[in-house]
Each structure stands twice: as C-alpha cells, then as structure tokens.
Chain A
Amino acid sequence: MSADTNKFVIPIGPQHPALKEPANFEFWVDGETVTGASVRLGYVHRGIEKGAEARTWVQNLYLMERICGICSHVHATAYTLGVEKLAGVEAPPRAQAIRQIMGELERIHSHMLWLGVAAHEGGFDSLFMYSWRDRETVMDLLEKISGNKVHYSANLLGGVKFDITPELAAEIHKGLEFLDERNRFYLKVVNQDETFIGRPRGIGTMTAERANFLGAIGPTARASGVAHDIRVDAPYLKYSEFPIKVETHTSGDLHGRFIVRINETFESIRVIREILDHLPPGELTARMPRRIPAGEAISRVEAPRGELLYFVASNGSDKPERVKVRTPSLCNWSTVLSLAIGLKLADMPMLLTGIDPCFSCNDRSVSVKRGTQDSSMWSWEKLRHYGIEYYR
C-alpha cells in the first residue's frame, strides 16, 4: 500500500497525538515480543449507571441508548425487555418483530463498520473505503424507518414507536439486495486476496477451550468454534419464530473472525427478509404502568459484539433502584490481555481490532515498555503504522 495510508486519520475515539497521556493499553516487550499486557479503560466513563438512578424509567430509555452510537438499539432493547419483565408486560408481536428487524439492521451496520476499521488497521484502505461507502446504504434504510441514522429510538417501554409499511418494506428489500451482493464481494476478498489474508491469519489464535476459559463471547468466540449466541440459546423478541443460524468457524484466529462477521451479515439479511415477508399484524404498543413493581430482572441480548447483559432492579417507584450494564467488550478485553503474550508488537492493532472493541472504550494511547527502565508512549497511529510497516 502506498503512502496514502498516512493521509487518512479516522476520527473515531479520542486522539492523543504526541501528548503524554495515561496509557490505555500497556504492553511490555522484549525485543519484538510482547511479554505482558494491561488495560486502563474509563476515558468515556460518564457515570451512566449512577445517572440512571436519578432518571425516570422513560428518561433512561434515552440514556441507555446513548451508551454507544454503534449499538444503541440493542442497549435500548435490553433495557426495555428488562423493564417489561419487571412490569409483567409483553410487547405485541408486531412490535417485537420490528425490534428484531432494527436489531439485525444494526448488526449489519456494525459488522460493516468493523470490516472497514479492521481493514484500515491492517493497511487495506481500499477495503475500508468500499465497506464504509456501502454501509451508507444500511444507514439510509435505518433513517428511512426511524428518522435518524444513529440513535434510532425505535423502542418504547411496551412497544415500538413506528411501523414498517409495505412501501418501507419494499425499500428495505432493495437495500438488502445491494448489501448482500457487496458482502459476497467482501467475503471473496477476505478468503482469496493473498496480501490481505497474510495479516489476520494466525493472529490471536484461540482454541475453543481457551475461549471458554477466558470467557470470550460473540463473534470472537464463535470464530473458535464456540457456538454460543443468545439469539439461539435464550431466544428473545421473535427469534423463536424467526431463528438465525449460529455462524462459527474453526480457525480461531483473526481471519476466522472476519469470516464469522461477514457470514453473520448474510444471516441478518436473510432473517430480515423473512420477517418482512411475514410481519405479524397488530398493535405497536402495550400499556405500561408508570411505577414499575419492585423486583429484579435480567435481560440478555446478542449485541453485534456478543452477549449484552442488563440487570434492572426496581424499588417500586418511578425511578430504577439499580441498572447494571455489562457490555460484551468487557468480557473480551480479558482475552486480549491473555492472547497478546508471545505475539509481536506489530500484531497488536489487528489483535485488538479482532474483538471489535466498542469504540466508546477504544482509547488510542498505548504505552510500550521495554525492560523496567525504558518506557515510551505511542499514539495509536504510530502503533498502527508500526504494524503495517513491519509486515510490508
């Protein structure tokens, strides 16, 4: 790849070019080899769990959505399902189906976004540009349905806010056709392009046993053959009626994670088509009490990155007692800390990208320590270029 890779800087995540920052990743290296790794999160810590206790149940819907711009719907869905469980209310079938459609569209968006970023991290900017351009199609669909490209706010406590008309359904079908064709192209690139395959192959290899021991979840674990997916293990919304097939791979490395995510995109496209053709008729909302009865509820949903768990506790008032959010990325960070050891420093960007860390936690400052004395601060860009140059 040419020097063009120097020109483009992705404005996602905090930037600390050449500034002395508390490191967000720390790597100890011996020569080229990583001997230890640690993480420090918190750059995007906003105090949401605490904030939730001071807001009403409905206000929290809008708060939880904004934990992450890329998986906003799945957060809102998990929260809503938890609250509905506490209230003993079930949203009508049509609402559940629409929630599922939005969730799968979001998954497509997230996977295509990841594809571009992962390609960029490896220096494959043309793949990055193409996938991000094509991703605009799914964002357009989401906007046509909800009115917003990001933070669609589909959920209401008890149902959904908007309907999918036959005209909209036709538009979605058209968009999906395009996305299907494009993703087949990407699958071919990922499987056949020799210059591409060299980077992710053999990186971050995790056996199924290791994946289970480390507690990996989501596509990261499924690439190691661990066939866990909440949509199948504990179906929610309309996943019992419109099931998906769990996509796994056996290589357990980063290359496998590419394959799993692209295959999941196909499954999402397929299931959306199926739901659109059999959309249940009926109401969009069910009545919800303003005060939610006291109790505890746990809701688990499959976010694009893995299992998202919400623990919602009520004390009988109009505000929650406790809302705990365990994001999938938190589970997968542990795998990175463990897998980094023995790998080369140049592999770190691709390894980290492989777990698809939610960017709201993907800080961009890295500390590289050689021995006990020499420690230097690298910006992410520097690490990324280091990786690309190393494998040139």
Chain B
Amino acid sequence: MVAQTLDSSWQGVLAKVKNWARINSPWAIHFNSGSCNGCDIQILATLTPRYDVERFGIKLQGSPRHADVLICTGPVTMQARDALLRTYEQMPDPKFVIAVGSCGLSGGVFHGCYNIVGGINELLPVDVFVPGCPPRPEGIIYGVAVLLGALKSGKRPEPIQWSGTGLDGVLHTGSKLEDHHG
C-alpha cells in the first residue's frame, strides 16, 4: 500500500520525515482518553527495568509541545475528545500516533456505548495500532519498534500482512476508516 505516485503535500511530509529520521530518540507523550487503565498499567510496565523501553530510544515526558509521538489509550469519551485533539494539535510536525489497546482500535468492549467516540482513528491519523486487552508490554514495545524502524528508514510505517500465525488482521497505516475494512 505504499503509494507510487505522491501528491506534493505528502512528498513534503516525507521529506520532513527523512530529515527528522536522523533523530534517534523521539519523545513521546501519553494520553488516556477514557481507558480503564489496563493498557496504561502495561505501558508503565514497559518503563520498568524489566522491559525498559527507554533503551530503544523512546522517552516518555509530559508536554505535547516537545513530543514526536503520541501514545494513546482508551475509547475516546466525549469529555476526552477535545483534550485529545488539542494535545495532538500542540505537537509539532512531523508527529506520529500509536493507539494502544482494543479500545483504541474500535472502542473495544465499549463499542456502541453512548458516551464514547470509538477507535482513536475516528479522530486522529493513527500510525500504529497495538491490539490487546490489554496488550502485553512486549506487544507495546513491538509497536513502538515498528514505528521507529519505519521512521529510521525515512518513511511512515507500512501495513504488515500477518500469515501462518492464524491472525487474520492487518496492522494498518493511514488515517481514515476506509483503509481498515476488508
């Protein structure tokens, strides 16, 4: 799904990404859009010495204005929605989004409840989805590594076809819902 013909704005982004990919240590900000904290506990576990995600070069800190990556959990409640958008807008370009957990994919077990928006990709362009309820710390680190690996080679993450493991899902990229069906 890597586009062969790119419009100029997309080329502009890629150029920025190539330049930026020289940065080895992206700063991340975490945002909880209404999750039960299950995923957040697992994200926290990645910071503990056992998993130590910081050795991959990703650093968790507090301000969106310094962040390159947004790690987002939760099914996006109505109250959280504006805050999430504002956080994203405050981040400088180029910026990337990792959605962690089933809630971030589709609203998870809360799908259809009246006070949630649903998957994070309904609101923001998401680059990496990490499925699970909650995902294991290893899964979260894998998601981070996928993003970093793609960035180091100067492009946005590509979709990965799973095969042989029995998983029929696809790790998608792109911003709109239409990319994710089928």
**A–B direct touch, CB within 8 Å, in complex?**
yes
Residues of A within 8 A of B (CB): 9-19, 21-22, 42-48, 50-51, 54, 62-63, 66-70, 72, 113, 132-133, 136, 139, 149-151, 359-360, 381
- B112 and A51 form a contact (CB under 8 A): yes
Closest to A20 in B: B86
- Size of the B side of the interface (Cβ < 8 Å), in residues, is 47
- Which residues of chain A are within 8 angstroms of B32 by Cβ–Cβ distance? 11-15
Complexed CA–CA distance, A47 and B43 (Å): 25
Complexed CA–CA distance, A50 and B116 (Å): 12
- A136 and B48 form a contact (CB under 8 A): yes
A379 to chain B, nearest CB (A): 8
- 11 A-B pairs with CB atoms under 8 Å apart are A12-B40, A12-B41, A14-B31, A14-B33, A15-B30, A43-B77, A43-B80, A47-B114, A50-B113, A69-B37, A69-B134
- A66 and B108 form a contact (CB under 8 A): yes
- A359 and B37 form a contact (CB under 8 A): yes
Closest to B39 in A: A69
Interface residues in B17-52 by Cβ distance below 8 A to A read 29-45, 47-50
Complexed CA–CA distance, A22 and B78 (Å): 13
Which of B59-67, B123-131, B148-156 forms part of the interface with chain A? B59-67
- B38 and A50 form a contact (CB under 8 A): no
Interface residues in B90-141 by Cβ distance below 8 A to A read 90, 108-110, 112-116, 133-134, 136
Complexed CA–CA distance, A66 and B74 (Å): 11
Complexed CA–CA distance, A136 and B38 (Å): 14
- Other A-B contacts than A11-B40, A19-B86, 12 sampled, CB-CB below 8 A, are A11-B60, A12-B32, A13-B32, A14-B31, A14-B32, A45-B34, A46-B34, A48-B113, A51-B112, A63-B110, A69-B35, A149-B136
Partner among A14, A51, A136, A151 whose Cβ is within 8 Å of the Cβ of B134: A151
Given contacts A43-B80, A69-B41, A151-B133, contact A15 B29 (CB under 8 A): yes
Q: Is the interface of B mostly helix, strand, loop or mixed?
A: mixed
Complexed CA–CA distance, A91 and B33 (Å): 37
A245 to chain B, nearest CB (A): 29
B175 located at the interface, meaning its Cβ lies under 8 Å from any Cβ of chain A in the complex: no
Partner among B37, B62, B113, B134 whose Cβ is within 8 Å of the Cβ of A47: B113
- Which residues of chain A are within 8 angstroms of B87 by Cβ–Cβ distance? 15, 19
Closest to A365 in B: B83
Closest to A6 in B: B62
Ranked nearest first, the 6 interchain pairs of A and B with the lowest CB-CB distance are A69-B38, A11-B30, A47-B113, A69-B37, A47-B115, A51-B113
- B116 and A136 form a contact (CB under 8 A): no
B11 located at the interface, meaning its Cβ lies under 8 Å from any Cβ of chain A in the complex: no
Complexed CA–CA distance, A133 and B48 (Å): 7
B143 located at the interface, meaning its Cβ lies under 8 Å from any Cβ of chain A in the complex: no
- Which residues of chain B are within 8 angstroms of A47 by Cβ–Cβ distance? 110, 113-116
- Which residues of chain A are within 8 angstroms of B133 by Cβ–Cβ distance? 66, 151
Closest to A42 in B: B79
- Which residues of chain A are within 8 angstroms of B35 by Cβ–Cβ distance? 44, 69, 360
B157 located at the interface, meaning its Cβ lies under 8 Å from any Cβ of chain A in the complex: no
- Which residues of chain A are within 8 angstroms of B90 by Cβ–Cβ distance? 19
- Which residues of chain A are within 8 angstroms of B86 by Cβ–Cβ distance? 19
A298 to chain B, nearest CB (A): 24
